[in-house]
Amino acid sequence: MKNQIQSHVESQVGELKDHVNSCIERIEDVQSVKREIGVVKNEVQRKIEEVEEKVQGTIGDIEKKLCELENRLINYPANPELMYSRPTVKSLTFDGQTSWPVFKTQFDVVSSAN
């Protein structure tokens, strides 16, 4: 009977040792995964910071170019070929041949057009 109890206890102890070893392996696996997650997290953070720096640099360059273009546009002389000028109509002179009311009407139209 003593041998049976001892063998039963030894088998139980063996099962417990196996279970403990299995748990230890799982804990080690979890710790390994946590370390890998930490490494990946640091890598991702570094990449994000690099991208932010590049974006800020690009935004700065774009703003600088935009200011240069705005200044160039402000200082750019107007092209006379592109300027629109209204044609002028030569003023009439009273010659005495035309009646005064007709001349006055024509004169008013020409002067308002100019």
Task: List the structure tokens of 48.
Answer: 């994000």
Please give the backbone phi and psi of residue 98, each rounded to the nearest 5 degrees, phi first: -90, 150
- The answer to pTM > 0.75 is no
pLDDT value at position 99? 84
pLDDT value at position 45? 98
What count of residues does the chain have?
A: 114
Q: Are 110 and 89 in contact (CB under 8 A)?
A: yes
- Which position has the higher pLDDT, 33 or 91? 33
pLDDT value at position 79? 64
pLDDT digits (tens, 9 = 90+) for 57-99: 999 999 999 999 988 878 766 665 666 666 676 777 777 787 8
